[in-house]
């Protein structure tokens, strides 16, 4: 079975026309995982039996003439920080190596209700902290376009699974760029919805005011279908909300659409390859009738400092729960700990990797007495200003377009010695999380399976709740 140009629409048609069964499709992806993932390392666990059973159910319903749900038979991968009842969920951390989730995340429940077949859980930077997946507590993941380079992060496993043809779609979480940056590095589509558009119930919390779940796919059309399956209000997450209904955008609507290019995103730090790619995308959108306008987001340059204060502060409190008591800890430590204090200190000291510990210490520092106002309170104010920059921009433009990353995928080890250089890889993505706006990362052109060219992507951001509009613009771009 050839999956090279497969899309969700083709899966829907293929199942309906009985060209193939869901089981055949799942078998094909499981075979590809067996053959390829030893080299790539996208998955942490593969659920062969569970996947084949889910596919078999779809085939039975299809044979009985039932109308199938929108993602019927679509093989997907999930980042390992999303809970599935009864399945190991590690967040790629040694501290959770033996943790089995006791309930389903809302997103996973909805994905399965929509008929998708979950193939397995994917590798990531530990607790979603990193931009290369090098911080996984288990193994690295390679970029399918060049095995010497990282797939990006933190959702690097999900991106590599899709770009390597080992899942048709995938889900990840994006706190400061963790969906959009790996999507750009791997030449696929990644979407960070408006804050609240997708329920966070059952997503392991990293930074609760920034985290959002979103999809990865080969096309924007597929990403939209995956997003539609998981979005909407959920009683288990009081920040979740329903998007307003939107008339589908028509191609004519692109004529006269105003897209802003913020000058702060096109400075010296942008590599020639990325600058050229984004320019190519601008030219293509111009051919579709879009008007471009130079704008300024004056506080964007403070995004990294603001983000790396707010996020670690939330990390330090969210990760306090991993204390060796409330979740299965480290067996060796448990055996030897003499006091409760000993158990806490050793579990957390040995169970967390270097980057997670760095962020816990940093977060504890910015929240501590005497430093709170200078760091945390200050960052919360600058966060407001970064959000206001966007609000001001929407007066003059409908959408904002930027690079996703300063460079294409970098090599293993290039940034691991200097954490600040790794943090700066997030420079173009953090503002969307800080202000809560939706942001779409898509490839400048199609990068085929097995291709060797290093991908470049671009980013479209819109006002809060404009998620569907962004996706529709993206669809017209990829159809052109």
Q: Which residues are catalytic?
A: 79, 154, 178
Least gap, CB of 309 to another protein (angstroms): 6
Binding track, positions 180-219, relative to another protein; x by CB under 8 A: ---------------xx-----------xxx---------
Helix (H) / strand (E) containing 118? strand 117-122
- What length does the chain have? 480
Q: Does 377 bind another protein (CB under 8 A)?
A: yes
Q: Does 361 bind another protein (CB under 8 A)?
A: yes
Q: Binding-site residue total for another protein (CB under 8 A)?
A: 67
Choose the stretch contacting another protein; rule: CB under 8 A; options: 72-80, 121-129, 159-167, 303-311. Answer: 303-311
Euclidean distance between CA atoms 36 and 204, whole angstroms? 28
Euclidean distance between CA atoms 322 and 406, whole angstroms? 35
Indicate which single residue of 296, 332, 340, 392 sits in contact with another protein (rule: CB under 8 A). Answer: 340
Euclidean distance between CA atoms 164 and 166, whole angstroms? 5
Euclidean distance between CA atoms 81 and 425, whole angstroms? 22
Looking at the Cβ atoms of 180 and 348, the one nearer to another protein is: 348
Helix (H/G/I), strand (E/B), else coil: 453: coil
Binding track, positions 241-270, relative to another protein; x by CB under 8 A: x-----------------------------
Choose the stretch contacting another protein; rule: CB under 8 A; options: 112-120, 162-170, 308-316, 440-448. Answer: 308-316
Q: How far from chain centre, in Å, is Cα 271?
A: 23
Least gap, CB of 325 to another protein (angstroms): 5
Euclidean distance between CA atoms 390 and 61, whole angstroms? 47
In the window 88-127, what residues touch another protein (CB under 8 A)?
101-103
Least gap, CB of 161 to another protein (angstroms): 28
Indicate which single residue of 378, 407, 416, 454 sits in contact with another protein (rule: CB under 8 A). Answer: 378
* Positive or negative torsion for Cα 3, 479, 476, 271: positive
Q: Does 365 bind another protein (CB under 8 A)?
A: yes
Euclidean distance between CA atoms 419 and 372, whole angstroms? 22
* Positive or negative torsion for Cα 343, 344, 345, 349: positive
Euclidean distance between CA atoms 150 and 159, whole angstroms? 11
Q: Does 55 bind another protein (CB under 8 A)?
A: no
Q: Does 343 bind another protein (CB under 8 A)?
A: yes
Looking at the Cβ atoms of 120 and 196, the one nearer to another protein is: 196
Indicate which single residue of 32, 218, 299, 415 sits in contact with another protein (rule: CB under 8 A). Answer: 299
Q: Does 238 bind another protein (CB under 8 A)?
A: yes
Please choose, from the candidates 190, 195, 145, 186, the residue with its C-alpha nearest in 3D space to the C-alpha of residue 172.
Answer: 190
DSSP of 192-226: EPPTTSB--TTBPPSSTTT-EEEEEESSHHHHHHH
Answer whether 317's CB lies under 8 Å from 323's CB.
Answer: no
Please choose, from the candidates 134, 125, 283, 138, the residue with its C-alpha nearest in 3D space to the C-alpha of residue 204.
Answer: 125
H-only helix segments in 248-353:
272-287, 303-318, 331-336, 340-351
Choose the stretch contacting another protein; rule: CB under 8 A; options: 25-33, 159-167, 362-370, 389-397. Answer: 362-370
Least gap, CB of 326 to another protein (angstroms): 7
Q: Does 335 bind another protein (CB under 8 A)?
A: no
Instruction: Tell me if the bond preceding 164 is cis, omega within 30° of 0.
Output: no
Indicate which single residue of 348, 415, 469, 472 sits in contact with another protein (rule: CB under 8 A). Answer: 348
* Positive or negative torsion for Cα 453, 444, 198, 29: negative
Choose the stretch contacting another protein; rule: CB under 8 A; options: 156-164, 287-295, 382-390, 406-414. Answer: 382-390
- Interacting residue ranges for another protein, rule: CB under 8 A: 101-103, 195-196, 208-210, 235, 238-239, 241, 299, 301-302, 304-306, 308-309, 316, 320, 323, 325-329, 337, 339-341, 343-346, 348-350, 352, 354, 357-358, 360-362, 364-365, 368, 375, 377-385, 387, 418-420, 423, 433-434, 436
């Amino acid at each position: 079975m050839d999956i090279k140009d497969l899309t969700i629409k083709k899966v829907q048609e293929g199942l309906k026309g009985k060209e193939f069964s869901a089981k055949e499709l799942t078998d094909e992806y499981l075979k590809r995982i067996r053959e390829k993932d030893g080299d790539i390392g996208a998955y942490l666990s593969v659920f062969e039996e569970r996947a084949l059973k889910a596919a078999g159910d779809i085939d039975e319903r299809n044979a009985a003439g039932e109308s199938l749900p929108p993602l019927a038979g679509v093989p997907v991968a999930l980042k390992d920080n999303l809970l599935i009842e009864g399945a190991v969920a590690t967040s790629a951390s040694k501290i959770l190596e033996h943790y089995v989730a006791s309930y389903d995340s809302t997103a996973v429940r909805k994905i399965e209700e929509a008929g998708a077949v979950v193939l397995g859980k994917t590798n990531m930077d530990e607790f979603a902290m990193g931009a290369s997946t090098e911080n996984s507590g288990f193994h690295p993941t390679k970029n399918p376009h060049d095995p010497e380079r990282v797939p990006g992060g933190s959702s690097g496993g999900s991106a590599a699974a899709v770009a390597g043809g080992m899942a048709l779609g995938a889900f990840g979480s994006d706190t400061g760029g963790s969906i959009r940056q790996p999507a750009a590095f791997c030449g696929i589509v990644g979407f960070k919805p408006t804050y609240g558009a997708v329920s966070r119930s059952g997503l392991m919390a990293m930074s609760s005011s920034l985290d959002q779940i979103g999809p990865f796919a080969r096309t924007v059309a597929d990403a939209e279908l995956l997003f539609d399956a998981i979005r909407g209000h959920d009683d288990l997450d009081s920040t979740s909300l329903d998007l307003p209904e939107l008339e589908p955008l028509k191609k004519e609507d692109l004529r006269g659409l105003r897209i802003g290019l913020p000058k702060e995103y096109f400075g010296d730090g942008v590599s020639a390859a990325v600058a050229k790619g984004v320019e190519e995308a601008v030219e293509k959108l111009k051919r579709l009738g879009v008007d471009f306008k130079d704008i300024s987001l004056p506080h964007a340059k403070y995004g990294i400092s603001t983000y790396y204060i707010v996020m670690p502060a939330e990390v330090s409190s969210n990760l306090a729960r991993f204390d060796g008591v409330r979740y299965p800890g480290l067996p060796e430590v448990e055996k030897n700990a003499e006091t409760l204090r000993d158990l806490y200190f050793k579990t957390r000291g040995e169970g967390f990797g270097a980057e997670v510990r760095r962020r816990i210490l940093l977060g504890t520092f910015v929240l501590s007495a005497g430093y709170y106002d200078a760091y945390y309170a200050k960052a919360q104010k600058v966060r407001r200003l970064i959000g206001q920059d966007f609000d001001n921009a929407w007066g003059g433009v409908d959408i904002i377009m930027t690079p996703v990353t300063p460079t294409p995928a970098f090599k293993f080890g290039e940034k691991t010695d200097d954490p600040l250089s790794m943090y700066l890889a997030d420079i173009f993505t953090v503002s969307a999380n800080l202000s809560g706006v939706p942001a779409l990362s898509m490839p400048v052109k199609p990068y085929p399976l097995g291709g060797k060219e290093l991908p470049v992507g671009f980013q479209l951001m819109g006002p809060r709740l404009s998620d569907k509009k962004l996706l529709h613009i993206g669809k017209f771009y990829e159809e052109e």
